[in-house]
Amino acid sequence: MRVEIVKLLKDEGKLSSKTIEEINQIDIHDFSSLVQEIGKEETEHIRASEISKDLNTKYVGKELFVFKEVSSTNTLAKFLSMNGIADGSVIISEKQTKARGRSGKSWESPLGGVWLSIVLNPHVDYAKLPLITLATGVAVAKTLEKIGVENPEIKWPNDIMINGKKVCGILTEAITKLNTIENVIIGVGIDANLDVEDFPEELQEGTTTLQKELGRKGNENLLIKTFLEEFEEISELFDHEGYEEILKEWRKRSYSIGKIVEVREPFNKNYDAYVLGVSREGALIVEKIDGTLEKVISGECIIKN
């Protein structure tokens, strides 16, 4: 992580006059101050002033850090969260060079998309972490509905679909200390003002963008603002243990329920199953070919044709 932070600071000219020895002697908190300073500078496409104007939230997005290019907003959010930024802070970048999805998969993040991470301190135990991903999916889907997308769906555990194609991915990561969750980093990547042709050929068939679905370019800043408001609304349900309401909203938009899937779990053999629903803990409930029921806590489910 330190290497990535140093590269960001060098690219922005903050360390250009320093030797390697001088850089190695810089205190980590000073690094954090420099990074936050960069995040407050004006950028060309994503504008903090537009997002903040009339932002109807109590804490989410009240502290915004916007960058031209970073390796990963989640990586940067982890670093800043360990150095004192506020609960609900949001890290946004116009581009990412080494973004990743679940299971370490790379995530294409060119200019024109919405790439952000939220730092939360939700005071929950590990068992509730999957519900944070589901709640975030609901917030994204509601955001897309507000801007005119018809019937966005949520594919368990972390993808948002439009007409059967992926438009958004979510990556939730916990920062722990002595078996206690200190912060949760929620990364969201939305393929907004992009052409499908902007992505590698192998991804194009299963990918869509808001620009393609709506037939026009949208306002990225308004999209982010709307999402932050929707996210705080559903996160407040989470804080007050309104899990059933979150699950109700998720089930209404589920892309997975009622489908035959191939279940791929870590350290287990793949198997086919029918998706029955989702549990109170956010696990996927499936019926295997032999009629037995399983709870899928982690892994992925590939929809079968």
63-67, 80-84, 154-158: which range is least confident on average? 80-84
What pLDDT band is residue 226 in, cutting at 50, 70 and 90? very high
Query: Considering the entire predicted model, what is its pTM?
Result: 0.92
The proportion of the chain whose per-residue pLDDT surpasses 70, expressed as a percent, equals: 93
- Rounded to an integer, the average pLDDT of 252-265 is 94
Query: 111-147 burial, b if ≥16 CB within 10 A, otherwise e?
Result: bbbbbbbbbbebebeeebbbbbbbbbbbbbbbbbeee
74-83, 146-155, 162-171: which range is least confident on average? 74-83
Q: Is the pLDDT of residue 100 over 70?
A: no
**Is 257:275 a contact under the CB 8 Å cutoff?**
yes
